[in-house]
Copies of this chain bind each other. A is one copy, B any other.
Amino acid sequence: MRRLPTVSDVAEAARVSRQTVSNVLNTPEIVRPETRERVEVAIRRLGYRPHASARRLRTRVSATIGVRLDPGTDGMSGALLDRFLHSLVEQADAAGLRVLLYTAADEDAEIRTVERLLDGADVDAFVLTSTHYGDRRIPWLIEHDVRFVTFGRPWGEHDMTDRSHRWVDVDGNAGLREATTSLLARGLRRIAFLGWPEGSGTGDDRRAGWRAAMTEAGTAPEVLDELDLGVEEDPHDLGVGGSAVAELAPAGVVCASDSLALAARLALGPDVPVIGYDDTPVARALGFASVAQPLEGVAQAVLELLRSDEGPHHRLLAPALVER
């Protein structure tokens, strides 16, 4: 394979110095227009492309984002991460950033991996998904002054407005409120909520959205409690959630996930409207409504927060109800 052209080759061809070529690439505004033009022609003619590793060595910037690929996500929303990743890579690319994947069995292993990636100058910022209660990675990253953004708010623990922790999240509360409202608008009153047991941040947030909309519509507290179902999600058995919701004989159901919605749908049949969460292919296939996360928007927000130092350090995006 032929030797690739370097800045020096371009410099020679354009009869300028290496540094001027470098300037044309990095700070074109300080180069006189006619010189710049000459260099740009030479770049195109030689098919020059900067050598990323050489640049990284010198600048100590890798322009690469590390993203962890979670092991566990074997649920129905595995495709969710997939779509998010796709948007992220697409937009990162447009911004001249690369996306490097890594995995780790547990948090400690992840911290070691992160250390390795940072020291090797492979990666200079991280995007974390599926943060959870008491996540040990967050304080470690903050303490080591590592740039990162999480997709998911910090539940509990430290202050949500802490500027050292940048995060982007989707407003599940608003999502369920909208879902519930849409059923209320159809004249339905007895709308059940099928979610997970209390204790998970996202789950409780979604539940609260349903409660708010129902309360606003004048539902009595004891009815609300009756209609509120929290079940452990079991990918191998939809029965639990299904039979529980069938017993209530609700006029409609809003759910914390599409797989719960699937359980409800199968138990209740197509005549009782069911609304899921995440708008997975299952929802599309079975034709029930679902709350869709704006993943492109999340990806965009993540990149913006990673790059800027000013402005807000967190972003809460509204999901959209996909009616069917």
Contacts and interface: CB of A to CB of B under 8 A. Distances in A.
Contact of A236 (B119, B122, B263, B284): B284
A83 interface: yes
Given A53-B62, A119-B4, A120-B52, A69 B98 contact: no
Interface in A74-116: 74-76, 78-79, 81-83, 85-86, 89-90, 93, 98-103, 113, 115-116
A307 interface: no
Contacts of A231: none
Contacts of A64: 100
Contact of A99 (B51, B73, B83, B100): B100
Contacts of A4: 119
Nearest to A234: B285
Contacts of A238: 285-286
Contact of A53 (B86, B120, B262, B281): B120
A281 B74 contact: yes
A287 B237 CA distance: 8
Interface in A163-222: none
Contacts of A262: 285
A33 interface: no
Interface residues of A, number: 56
Q: Which of A50, A103, A236, A281 has the most CB of B within 10 A?
A: A281
B51 A57 contact: yes
A85 B69 contact: yes
A78 B287 CA distance: 19
Interface of A: 1, 4, 49-54, 56-57, 62, 64, 69-71, 73-76, 78-79, 81-83, 85-86, 89-90, 93, 98-103, 113, 115-116, 119-122, 145, 235-236, 238, 259, 262-263, 266, 281-282, 284-287
Given A81-B82, A236-B285, A259-B281, 6 more contacts: A49-B120, A52-B120, A76-B281, A78-B79, A93-B102, A100-B101
